[in-house]
Amino acid sequence: MLADAAEAARLCRADALTTLLNTGAIDEERYYRALALSLGTTFVDDVRLYDGVRHAEVLDVEATPLARKFWPLVAVAPRGRAVARLMDTWNQCSVQPAITTPMRLRHAVFAQRADEIATEAADGLKQHHPEWSCRPGPTTRDLILVGVMVGLGFLFTSLPNGFSMSLLALTQLATVAMLMVRFCAVAVPSSPEPSPELRLLNDAALPTYTVLVALYREASVVEQLVGSLKSLDYPAAKLDIKLLLEADDVETAEALRSIALPPWFEIVTAPPGLPRTKPRALNIALPLARGRYLVVYDAEDVIERQQLKLAATLFARAPKTTACLQGRLVIDNYKDGWLTRLFAIEYSALFDVLGPALAAWRMPTPLGGTTTHFRTRVLCELRGWDAWNVTEDADLGMRLALAGYHVGDLPSDTKEEGLRLVKPWLRQRTRWMKGFLQTSFTHLRNPAETAGRLGPLGSLFALTLLPGTVLSALDGLSAGRRADCGDGPAGRAHECWDERGFHWRYHGDAAPGAACLLAPPLVRADAMGAPAAVLFRLGQRCGLARGLRAGPASAPLEQDRAWAGPHLAQWRPADAPSLRAQIRFANSAAASCGGRCRLRAVTKLLFASMM
């Protein structure tokens, strides 16, 4: 076993100690006890920290002065090559330290500095970069601005048609901006697979990689998660996997204890505190990360085996300003219902089309919540995630851009499950819209400084992707509301259907085309020929040309963009056959494409008409 570990260390150029521990050739406790015995020093079972030492300092240097009654002892828990350096300089130490294990040292820090750790994880960003923290929330100026916008919304339903339609046209500038971003993104080449000419780094050149997975009440998927992480094609000696739990999550903790975890897995329990969120748990684990690179996954993720190798290779080839790589998220349960099918189309649009385009343009990118790979140094520099922002991933993408960094594209898939039911879907979308508003208010506190950091084009993209998303969703609501309001002296009610099956009502003497012209469903890129351009570029005819006029998935995707569900009220029960027909068309079209690459081509076609 020792010979095998030594050979593994030689092949991947890892230190012998880490290889021995991660391959299970030796137990951590036994090794450090033997190290203390060989050096003739004390092994500390019960580590008591000195009152004045901070947790970040202890975790950084992996050593601590002990409580006063143990003076002048210092306890150290060296890892890897630090053990060899300690042994080489042992006789030169004026005070020879005691030895403990890294696990005992970490447990002591988390037990004796729990409040300090919880406070730093929750409010560290506010303390070090208050201009980037969403706390303490919207200012008085922000609330006044929101009030003015709400007032304008009410004006839409009370002003005469001419004024109302003019104001509505102005608000649709956000919709048009989003449309143009998506229209241009279609033209950017992207591939679901890495270039065949790309040679992955060999094991010897690979760095240590940290994997963080935040879990809360995920006992049912723990076994699948561990299996997926164990199957990663990466040297065990260079893996640092941390599973993050909340203190009260007994079920998930018991599920993990029932599984024989490999030595390179570590369970980290977050100290109690608020907010009880995923970014707070990630902040708690960030100081423990030993890898040059770090990736965040969700509990239900199924990861491509070579994803870490590919990410390390792309990081090595990319400029230092590329601080993050965003992987491709794929919905694997798209057959479970119409909502999961819409999820699959939307995710393919976002991560196969828009994400690669933003990376190619080096524009600000709101990150996805999983499969985000970082340079650990940059992540620590930015103080991790905003624990109080409910879309901490989108906020972090903006902060990367503000700090002068870029997000690259990682053509590697991570499969996850889409929501099957409308109620949790509405909760998810409400959270997303709330988070986009939080991020928008945070980074628009000083608009001149933000614009100066991002530049004119970067500022336009940031406005389009965050507040523009919210405004376009609300704009859809206002359009539906306006189309349903009485106006004019006669107050005559009329009804019409557009060519895609949308049901509209209008009042007074306004022409039917006036409401429909400004309604979001008709602001379409298919009228501009983008789908045909994609077909021409890919050289693939997937039998979808007949569907370009109908825009098969645009209607449900439009609802998918609306805020918290009221937009769904624009559909009446009588319209349901039209919706089902369009979904069936999208499904049959995707099935006729025969394969993932063809599905991506289909998605690009649908994406051009997605709002």
Within 10 angstroms of residue 450's Cβ, the number of other Cβ atoms is 20
Query: Is 145 inside any structural domain?
Result: no
535: part of which helix (H) or strand (E)? helix 530-538
pLDDT band at 349 (very low <50, low <70, confident <90, very high): confident
Residue 119 lies in a domain: no
- Is residue 465 a part of any domain in this protein? no
Are residues 221 and 254 located together in one domain of the fold? yes
Q: Same structural domain for residues 74 and 25?
A: yes
Beta-sheet strands, E only, within 146-292: 209-214, 239-246, 265-270
- Is the pLDDT at 504 greater than 70? The verdict is no
Last residue of a domain, one of 112, 144, 172: 112
SS (H, E, C) 387-410: CCCCCHHHHHHHHHHHCCCEEEEE
| Exposure class string for 231-253: b at 16+ Cβ within 10 A, else e | ebebbbbbbbbbbbbbeebeebb
Domain count, the chain: 3
Distance CA 108, CA 106 (A): 5
Q: What is the mean pLDDT of residues 312-322?
A: 97
CB 209 within 8 A of CB 240: yes
Indicate the pLDDT class of residue 93, thresholds 50, 70 and 90.
confident
The set of residues, in sequence order, having a beta carbon less than 8 Å from that of 31 and lying 6+ positions away, is 17, 20, 21
Least confident of 135-139, 159-163, 207-211: 159-163
76 domain residue, yes or no: yes
Residue 252 lies in a domain: yes
Higher pLDDT, 67 or 373: 373
Q: What letter would DSSP give residue 269?
A: E
Domain stop point among 393, 418, 443: 418
Helix (H, G, I), strand (E, B) or coil at 76: strand
- Identify the helix (H) or strand (E) that includes residue 428: helix 422-443
The answer to whether position 462 is within a domain reads: no
Q: pLDDT tens digit string along 186-233?
A: 888 877 778 888 899 999 999 999 999 999 999 999 999 999 999 999
- DSSP bridge pairs for 493: 507
The domain boundary, picked from 418, 436, 457, lies at: 418
Residues 557-571, mean pLDDT to the nearest whole number: 37
Say if residue 91 is exposed, middle or buried (CB neighbours under 10 Å; 0-12, 13-18, 19+).
exposed
In a domain, 148, yes or no: no
pLDDT computed for residue 4 by the predictor: 66
Helix (H) or strand (E) segment spanning residue 475: helix 467-483
- Determine whether 590 is exposed, middle or buried from the number of CB atoms within 10 Å of its CB (0-12, 13-18, 19+): buried
Q: For residues 196-230, b (16+ Cβ closer than 10 Å) or e, as one string?
A: eeeeebebeebebbbbbbbbbebbebbeebbebbe
Interval 401-438: pLDDT, tens: 999 999 999 999 999 998 888 889 888 988 999 999 89
Comparing CA positions, the residue from 356, 444, 423, 458 lying closest to residue 564 is: 423
Q: Within 10 Å of residue 163's Cβ, how many Cβ atoms?
A: 12
Q: How far is CA 449 from CA 29, 428, 444, 454, 459, in A?
A: 52, 31, 9, 9, 11
pTM: 0.81
Question: Quick one: 316 and 405 in the same domain?
Answer: yes
Average pLDDT over residues 86-96: 83
pLDDT confidence band for 64 (50 / 70 / 90):
very high
- For residues 276 and 310, membership in a common domain is answered with yes
For the stretch 446-500, pLDDT in tens is: 899 999 999 999 999 999 899 888 877 766 555 554 444 444 444 444 444 444 4
Sign of the alpha-carbon dihedral angle for 588, 592, 596, 598: negative
In 334-384, at which residue ranges do the beta strands (DSSP E only) sit?
Answer: 372-375
Q: What element of type H or E holds 325?
A: strand 322-331
**Rounded CA gap, 583 and 554, in Å?**
10
Same domain, 481 and 381: no
Phi, psi of 407 (to 5 degrees): -110, 130
Q: State residue 522's pLDDT score.
A: 35
Residues 239 and 294 in one domain: yes
Model pLDDT, residue 547: 35
CA dist., res. 253 & res. 236, Å (int): 23
Q: Is 402 in the same domain as 485?
A: no
Residues 207 and 296 in one domain: yes
Checking DSSP bridges between strand 265-270 and strand 293-297, what pairing results, if any?
A: unpaired
Helix extents (H) in 13-113: 16-22, 28-39, 55-61, 81-88, 102-112
| Within-domain flag for 583 | yes
CATH of the domain at 214: 3.90.550.10
Kindly tell me if the per-residue pLDDT of 337 is higher than 70: yes
Question: How confident is the model over 309-329, as a mean pLDDT?
Answer: 97
Specify whether the CB–CB gap between 90 and 112 falls below 8 A.
no
Full residue range of the structural domain in which residue 562 is found: 157-186+471-607
Express each pLDDT in 118-135 by its tens digit: 999 999 999 999 999 998
Structure confidence at residue 475 (pLDDT): 60
Kindly state whether residues 40 and 71 are assigned to the same domain.
Answer: yes
Q: Are residues 360 and 306 in the same domain?
A: yes
Same domain, 75 and 161: no
What band does 3 get if pLDDT is binned at 50, 70 and 90?
low
C-alpha 171/C-alpha 198 separation (Å) is 45
Q: At 33, which amino acid appears?
A: R
Q: Quote the percentage of the chain above a pLDDT of 90.
A: 49
Top-confidence residue, 436 or 146: 436
Same domain, 215 and 249: yes
Contact 595/601 with Cβ under 8 angstroms?
Answer: no
> Quick one: average pLDDT of 75-92?
88
Residue 482 host element (H or E): helix 467-483
Position 546 scores a pLDDT of: 35
**pLDDT at residue 506, rounded to an integer:** 44
